């Protein structure tokens, strides 16, 4: 695999995809696995939060685990 190198500009302006790949030293498989693990963790957290929130607190809005297209 080719080695990714950070661009010369500020890290805060970098593409998040490039930043994720750099975190894993260019390993796309490891990057995808981490993102899937993060997604599963956040879905579990959202599920817990959904059970704890009341309709009155959010004025009828409830979070959804799937994003709208």
Question: Which of the 8 DSSP states describes residue 8?
Answer: S
CA distance 63 to 15: 27
- pLDDT tens digits along 13-68: 788 999 999 999 999 999 999 999 999 999 999 888 887 777 666 677 777 777 76
Domain hosting 46: range is 1-69
Ordered DSSP codes for 4-54: P---SS-GGGS-HHHHHHHHTTT-HHHHHHHHHHHHHHHHHHHHHHHHH--
Write out pLDDT tens, residues 6-25. 554 455 578 899 999 999 99
Our count of domains for the chain comes to 1
Q: Is this model's pTM higher than 0.85 or not?
A: no
Q: Which two tokens stand for residue 2?
A: 């080719």
């Amino acid at each position: 695999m080719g080695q990714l190198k950070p661009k010369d500009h500020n890290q805060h302006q970098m593409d998040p995809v490039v930043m994720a790949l750099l975190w894993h030293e260019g390993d796309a498989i490891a990057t995808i696995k981490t993102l899937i693990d993060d997604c599963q963790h956040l879905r579990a957290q959202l599920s817990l939060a959904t059970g704890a929130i009341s309709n009155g607190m959010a004025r009828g809005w409830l979070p959804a685990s799937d994003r709208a297209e």
